[in-house]
Amino acid sequence: MIKTDQQPARATKMDIGSKLKFFRIQRNLKQDDLARGIISVSYLSKIENNLTSPSEEVLKLLCERLGVSLIERNDETVLNELMSWYKLMMTSNSVEIKKRYEELSMSIQSVNTRTYMYFVLFELRYFLYLNDLERSKLQIEKLQQFHDILDVEMNYYFEKFFAIYTYRLNNYTGALEHLKSAERLLQRNTIFESSEEADLFYLFGLTYSQTTKVPISITYTSKALNIFQASYDLKRSAECQVLLGICYRRIGEFDRSEESYLLAQKLSESLNNTYLQALIFHNLGKLYSMQSLHKQAIEEFEKSYYLKEDRSLESRLNSIYCLIIEYDYLKDSGQCRKWLDTGRTLINESKELLEYEYYFSIFEYLLSDNFEELDVQFQEAFLPYFQEQELNEPIIKYSERLALYFESCYKYKKASFYYSLCYQELKKQTFLY
C-alpha cells in the first residue's frame, strides 16, 4: 500500500474528487464499496464530482482503502518510459513490448495520477496490439467512466485507440468518426511529434481504403508517407507504399500499383523484414491475378506462403486459398488438389477458421464437378455465413460459377437465382479484392 501519512492538502482541491474516482474505477470498486464505513455514498458522489472537498481525515481513509496516495510526484522518467513503450508498439518486436508491459505493470503502482492514467490508455493500445478485443472492450468501458477527467492529449489517444478497436470490429464508419475526433484534438495540441500525426494519417488512409473511398485514402496515405520519409522511417514508409499499391490497384492504376509495391519491397529487403515481404508478395499476387497474369500471381503467392512459416495459421491459409484460385483459373486440377490437401492438413475446426473450411469445401465440390451438392450446401451453409460475415467476394465468385453451370444445364430458374444474387452483391461494392 502506498503511504498516506503526508499532507493530503497538497493535492489540488478541484482535482481530488476526479482522482478518487479514477482510482476507484481502476480498482473495480463501486461507490458503495469505497464509501462503506467512512462516508455516505451521496457524499462520496459529491466529492468525485468536485462539488465539495473532503476533510483530511476522510481523504486519508479513502486513500487507505484504495491503496493510493494523492500526493503528486514528479514522474517524468516513468512517463517517458510509457511513451517509449507506446512507440515500440508500432514495431513488430513483440518480445520487447511484452517485457516492457510486465516491467511497467510492476512500477506503475507508485506513480502520480496523470502518469497512471497514461498507463491505462497505453494498456488499451497494448491489448489492441495483442488483438485481444475482449480486454480492449473492457478497458474502453473503464476509460469511458472517467472520460470527463481526461485532458486534450489523453482524449486524443483515447479516440485514436477507440478508432483502432472499432476498425478491428470491421465497423469502418464508426472508426472514421473516432479518427475525426482524434484529428480535431490533435490540431488543438502542438506537443505531438510529427510521427504521431503521420500515424493518424495512415490510419485514415487504411480506414478510407476499407470504405472504398480510394481518392481520399490516397491523400491521407501520401501525407503519412511524406512525414515518414522525412524522418527516414523505412518500415512505416514501406507500409504506406503497400497501402498506396492497394489503392491504385482498386482503381485500375496497375502500373502505379506495381511501382508502389516494388518500392515497398526494396525497403522491406533493406530492413530484412519478412512480415512486410510476405505482405508485399501477397499483394503483388493479387495485382497480377486481376490482370489475368496467373502464372506470375502464383509465383508471388508461393513466395508469400513460404515466408509465413512463423505467421498465424489464418495468414498461411489465405495464401493457400489464393493459390487454389489461381490454379483453378489455369484449370490445373492437380495443383489445386495439392494445395487443397495442404490446407486441409493445416486447418482445424475452430470457429475462427470456418471461413477457410468453407472455401476448401467449395473447391472439393468444384474439383469433383459436384455442382448439385454444392448448390445445396451453398444455400444452406456457405451463403448465410458469407452474408453474416459480409464477405461479398466469395458470394459473387461462386454465385457466378453456379449460375454458369445451371445455365449450361438449361436450368434457367436456378441460373437466374444465382445471377440475381451475384448482381445484388456487385451493386454493394466497386471492387472485388
241 pLDDT higher than 90: yes
111 pLDDT higher than 60: no
Lowest pLDDT segment from 18-32, 137-151, 195-209, 375-389: 18-32
pLDDT tens for residues 278-336? 999 999 999 999 999 999 999 999 999 999 988 889 999 999 999 999 999 999 999 99
430 pLDDT higher than 80: no
1 pLDDT higher than 80: no
Lowest pLDDT segment from 20-24, 111-115, 119-123, 299-303: 111-115
3 pLDDT higher than 70: no
**pLDDT band for position 277 (cuts 50, 70, 90):** very high
10 pLDDT higher than 60: no
Identify whether the C-beta of residue 62 lies closer than 8 Å to the C-beta of residue 20.
Answer: yes
What is the Cα gyration radius of the chain?
27
pTM for the model stands at 0.80
Region 273-282: mean pLDDT is 94
Which domains does the chain possess?
8-66 (1.10.260.40), 91-192 (1.25.40.10), 373-433 (no CATH)
Nearest to 398, CA basis, from 381, 378, 412: 378
73 pLDDT higher than 70: no
Which residue type occupies 322? C
pLDDT for 93: 67
